[in-house]
């Protein structure tokens, strides 16, 4: 069985997220998602509109996702790949090159983002002051 692993906050779910999850799942037999915990997001100075539990329920309901677990820190990816026996690590291409150090453990794939959609753009359209808040 080929396991694909990916990570993210997955706040304000949109077609870009679904496209990424669908394409990631198509690379293997199962897709597991490390979902950024609220504490990890706070440490990254990142906010989300929905808390971890709400984001987890939404992700678990998506047919492409087989399992969701909390992402608590950057370093856990190394042990997660081993613990979940992941064959493929997937991230959006805006992270290109940042996770190449994982290539000793598994295949690393950077998928193209969906054009003209992003969580940040959605947040900014809902609240123009969001950009000032996140910085």
Cα(9)–Cα(37) distance, rounded to whole angstroms?
A: 8
C-alpha pair distances (Å), 116 with each of 9, 15, 28: 19, 10, 27
Instruction: Give the model's pLDDT for residue 133.
Output: 47
Catalogue all structural domains in the chain, each as residue range(s) with its CATH number. 3-134 (3.40.50.620)
Instruction: Give the model's pLDDT for residue 135.
Output: 42
Q: Is 134 a catalytic residue?
A: no
Instruction: Give the model's pLDDT for residue 134.
Output: 47
- Positive or negative, the CA dihedral 102, 103, 104, 107 is positive
Instruction: Give the model's pLDDT for residue 47.
Output: 79
Question: Which residue is catalytic, options 2, 44, 82, 134?
Answer: 44
What does the CA dihedral 125, 114, 17, 31 come to, rounded to 10 degrees?
A: -170
| The overall pTM is greater than 0.95 | no
**pLDDT > 90 in the chain, percent:** 72
Q: Is 46 a catalytic residue?
A: yes
Please list the ranges in the chain whose pLDDT falls under 50.
130-135
Question: Which residue is catalytic, options 2, 46, 98, 134?
Answer: 46
Cα(67)–Cα(83) distance, rounded to whole angstroms?
A: 13
């Amino acid at each position: 069985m080929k396991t694909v692993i990916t990570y993210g906050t997955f706040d304000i779910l949109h077609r870009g997220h679904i496209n990424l999850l669908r394409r990631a799942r198509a690379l293997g037999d199962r897709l597991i998602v490390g979902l950024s915990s609220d504490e990890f997001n706070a440490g990254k100075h990142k906010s989300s509109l929905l808390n971890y539990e709400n984001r987890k329920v939404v992700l678990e309901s998506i047919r492409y996702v087989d399992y969701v677990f909390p992402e608590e820190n950057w370093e856990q990816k190394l042990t997660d790949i081993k613990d979940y026996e992941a064959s493929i690590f997937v991230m959006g291409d805006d992270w290109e090159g940042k996770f190449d150090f994982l290539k000793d453990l598994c295949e690393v794939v950077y998928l193209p983002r969906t054009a003209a959609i992003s969580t940040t753009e959605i947040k900014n359209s809902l609240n123009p002051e969001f950009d000032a808040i996140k910085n």
